[in-house]
Amino acid sequence: MGFKSRLDDLRHGFTRSFWVANMLELFERLAFYGSKAVLAVYLVEKLGLGTRGSALVGLYGFAIFFLPTLTGPLVDRFGFRRSLIACFSIFSLGYFAIGLAGLPFGQHFVASVGLTPYIIGVLMLTAFGGSLIKPCVVGTVARTTTPTTKSFGYSIYYTLVNLGGAIGPVLALQVREGWGISYVLVMSAATSFLNLLGTLLFFREPEGGREAGAPRAWSQVFRDMGQVFSNLRFMAFLVIFSGFWIMFWQIFYGLPFYVQDFLHYPHFELIETVDAWSIILLTVPVTALMKRVPPILAMSSGFAVASLGWLLIGHVPTLEATVVGICIFAIGESMQAPRFYEYVAELAPRDQVGTYMGFAFLPVAIGALVAGYLSGFLVEHYLRHGSRPGMMWDVLAAVGGVSTVLMLFYDRFIAPRAQHG
């Protein structure tokens, strides 16, 4: 009966705007994770930035996921369609500008600016464009689903996100080996331009969007932001949740160097896709299994399982164990990720969905920033100048363990008061 109801939801439970937004997200994630798969190696080795490159990757990740806390209100004000048009226009320019630094015909221009300031500038430009898409797509899912289809809708969204995350690095590998690593960024720029055309032709503002009514005054926009920032219980929850993302981002920040330098496997992009392919297979069934589990308990359990994956990688230093460890990490991720979005969406007033969904990516931002600096330290201290590379992953498992304990503490002592406050 449950399976039949899911089929009915697929046929009749979602609007055209839901499906168009999710398809745009699929190709945006293809472009994002295609570039993300090689970005650390590109900055550190191709452009010769060394440990500064690792820090800049973290800064870029922080910006692209922190800025939605600021751009979410803009999305609420101007509507999803206009915001998506701006997003893909900036993405097209930004990805190309990043790749330009590694192309022969871009060398003179980049040198005239200075490599480091140029890279910081184009990374921040790209991050601003990327900050617009998450409130749009997740907000569309929130506005176009019902209480009975919402959980399934977020599962579909998260599955498509990971499908893009799985395909992007595979394409990146083909482009890197066939054309050169710089052209991976050009590929992402071209994909973003196609998304721009798709938005112009097919996306329509969902019911309840800002184009359906008068835009809010700027004073109200900033009051809404202030209300979210002043919600200390909610902010504490987001900070604790960032521990998961400190673990996650090492798949793209530290793992490529570990796979290349220690496991001596040159196709590091393929290993980066293991998490995404596992999530594609696991998210919908695991979401169904975890549906009756309270959200905080589901998230805490996911943290604990994900941490076990890093312990396996650290103590069994083989390529096969690394693949299995990432699969275990993916099980933990699939246990908690859709519940997280559902939990945040339920907290959001209907006219502040974009604002709250922007803040929902604050843990991703904090995790990316910390992971960037941490990856530089771990790679240098344990992989390149140390005798115990496995300690890299023990450190990450410890981060996951602490986050699990803190989430349970939140559930016991903070979340109950939040329900009555």
pLDDT tens digit sequence for 42-97: 999 999 998 899 999 999 999 998 887 777 777 877 889 999 999 999 999 999 99
Which pLDDT value is given to residue 6? 52
Alpha-carbon distances of 353 from 13, 51, 217, 265, 384, rounded to whole Å: 20, 38, 16, 44, 45
d(CA 95, CA 86): 14
Tell me how crowded residue 161 is: count the other CB atoms within 10 A of its CB. 24
d(CA 137, CA 57): 24
Tell whether the model's pLDDT for residue 273 goes beyond 80: yes
More confident residue, 11 or 74: 74
Q: Are 303 and 243 in contact, with CB atoms under 8 Å apart? A: yes
Tell me how crowded residue 280 is: count the other CB atoms within 10 A of its CB. 20
Tell me how crowded residue 323 is: count the other CB atoms within 10 A of its CB. 14
Q: Which of 58-72, 189-203, 368-382 has the lowest mean pLDDT?
A: 58-72
> Quick one: which of 331, 334, 330, 313 has its CA closest to 322?
313
d(CA 228, CA 145): 23
Which pLDDT value is given to residue 88? 96
d(CA 18, CA 14): 6
Identify the H or E element spanning 254: none
Q: Are 195 and 27 in contact, with CB atoms under 8 Å apart? A: yes
Tell whether the model's pLDDT for residue 182 goes beyond 50: yes
pLDDT tens digit sequence for 229-251: 888 888 888 999 999 999 999 99
Taking all residues of the chain, what is their mean pLDDT, rounded to a whole number? 87
Cα torsion 323, 329, 335, 340: sign: negative
When pLDDT is cut at 50, 70 and 90, the band that residue 1 belongs to is very low
Cα torsion 61, 63, 68, 74: sign: negative
| Domains, the chain, with CATH or none | 10-420 (1.20.1250.20)
Give residue 181's identity as a one-letter amino acid code.
I
When pLDDT is cut at 50, 70 and 90, the band that residue 199 belongs to is very high
When pLDDT is cut at 50, 70 and 90, the band that residue 27 belongs to is very high
Tell me how crowded residue 348 is: count the other CB atoms within 10 A of its CB. 18
- pTM for the predicted model, two decimal places: 0.84
d(CA 407, CA 8): 35
pLDDT tens digit sequence for 285-321: 887 888 788 888 999 999 999 999 999 999 999 999 9
Tell whether the model's pLDDT for residue 20 goes beyond 50: yes
Give residue 17's identity as a one-letter amino acid code.
S
When pLDDT is cut at 50, 70 and 90, the band that residue 16 belongs to is confident
Which pLDDT value is given to residue 179? 96
Tokens of 239: 């900070």
Q: Which of 74-83, 87-96, 104-113, 119-128 has the lowest mean pLDDT?
A: 74-83
Tell me how crowded residue 226 is: count the other CB atoms within 10 A of its CB. 10
CB neighbour list of residue 320: distance below 8 Å, 6 or more residues apart: none
Q: Which of 73-77, 220-224, 255-259, 340-344 has the lowest mean pLDDT?
A: 220-224
Which pLDDT value is given to residue 353? 67
Give residue 404's identity as a one-letter amino acid code.
T
d(CA 237, CA 363): 9
d(CA 283, CA 165): 14
Which pLDDT value is given to residue 208? 58
More confident residue, 158 or 168: 168
> Quick one: which of 129, 124, 125 has its CA closest to 62?
124
More confident residue, 396 or 284: 396
Lookup result for tokens 């938005």: 199
CB neighbour list of residue 415: distance below 8 Å, 6 or more residues apart: 233, 237, 296
Tell whether the model's pLDDT for residue 221 goes beyond 70: no
Tell whether the model's pLDDT for residue 195 goes beyond 90: yes
> Quick one: which of 259, 257, 101 has its CA closest to 183?
101
